Amino acid sequence: MTERLELQRWDGPAGDDAFAGLRADVAAYGHLDPLETLRGLSEASGLPVGALAHYVLARWASGGSEALLELGVSGVDHLARLVAEAERAGTDAARLAAYAAMRDVVAWLRAGIDADPDTPTDD
């Protein structure tokens, strides 16, 4: 597989929609040079820079799919409903209730993990 990809910096406005956080991150990280890290890793590991870039992009891009598989469609739908109901109500109380419900879901999911619940894991 040989494709060319042009790395671009983007510094546009974040906006206020569901992708505002992504836009803000893209703008913030756009000032860094990822190739500097990949070149160093390439030298240390003997892997080509392009192979490392492919790995990083594929791993990051598939992270949402992995999370969906772990949580399940019904779990994601449940969390989405909690947020949608709170936003429809439009009150701080409804948002706090949704937060409490999501906190309970996370606690239930972590029940099988032998770890301090106050310390997130990278698993």
| 38-87 residue pLDDT tens | 999 999 999 999 999 999 999 888 877 777 777 788 888 899 999 999 99
pTM: 0.56
Q: How confident is the model at residue 108 (pLDDT cuts 50, 70, 90)?
A: confident
Determine phi and psi for 118, rounding to 5 degrees.
-85, -5
Q: Of the candidates 38, 35, 34, which has an alpha carbon nearest to the alpha carbon of residue 52?
A: 38
Coil vs helix vs strand at 39 = helix
